Amino acid sequence: MMPRVILHNSISLDGSLTGFEPHMELHYRLVGSYKPDAHLIGSHTITTGIELYEDGVPEEHASDFKKSKRSRSLPLWVIIDTRGALQGVLHTCRRFELCRDVILLVSERTPSGYLQYLSERNYTYHVVGRNHVDLKQALLLLSETYQIKTIVTDTGRILGNLLIEHGFVEEISLLVHPVIVGGASYPIFSEVKILQRLQLKKFERLEEHYLWLVYHVQKE
């Protein structure tokens, strides 16, 4: 059975993913309300987050080579990284206290040196696709191997739009910020090429000026 996939993002009033400072505490409070079994994240989102919120990449320690033993109530981080973009920085994810542990999804074209890097550090990885990760195969694998029923993805535009276009997203959750980015906006849905019909499930005002919109994606 395919897991339930929820796309959650913080956006400006004009639908931009970037160009403003998101309310991260509120963003993740809403994510936590779904009680996800896993977060599905693209490698570019990880590298961007490190650049924005980390003061450089900390040095690796021996403890970073071991799987974490955090509570099973915490979500897994499932990261798509076919090119090995996270080599040398992946320990920053494993250290995050709200992450149970990290699982990598790679392809047959992923560099062998990166796979060796993952193995040496005891990261679980799965090859699901030839050139790119086969999203359907990946979602089925997560369901069958890890009993994952609910996935929240608050990744960037590329992965989010692919998940929508392939019909894998059941619900879209948007935290609308009281800002307009304008000409420098990075529109959240600009890569979606197929008309998507939605049904409003929730409309809630949060902390005076923020809106939480939740839509059900109607399937053909």
pLDDT tens profile 45-69: 888 877 765 667 889 999 999 998 8
What's the CA gap between 139 and 150, in Å, rounded? 10
pLDDT tens profile 155-210: 889 999 999 999 999 999 999 999 999 999 999 999 999 999 999 999 999 988 99
- Per CATH, the architecture of 39-148 is what? 3-Layer(aba) Sandwich (3.40)
- Residues whose CB is less than 8 angstroms from the CB of residue 180 and which lie 6 or more positions away in sequence, other chains included: 12, 13, 14
1-37+149-220 placed in CATH 3.40.50.150: no
Return the closest-CA partner of residue 129 out of 166, 76, 93: 166
Sequence ranges of the domains in the chain: 1-37+149-220, 39-148
pTM for the complete prediction? Answer: 0.92
Question: Residue 7: pLDDT band by 50, 70, 90 thresholds?
Answer: very high
Instruction: Give me the DSSP letters along 195-210.
Output: ---EEEEEEEEETTTE
**What separation in angstroms does the CA of 169 have from each of 66, 110, 135?**
33, 26, 11
* 39-148 matches 1-37+149-220 in CATH topology: yes
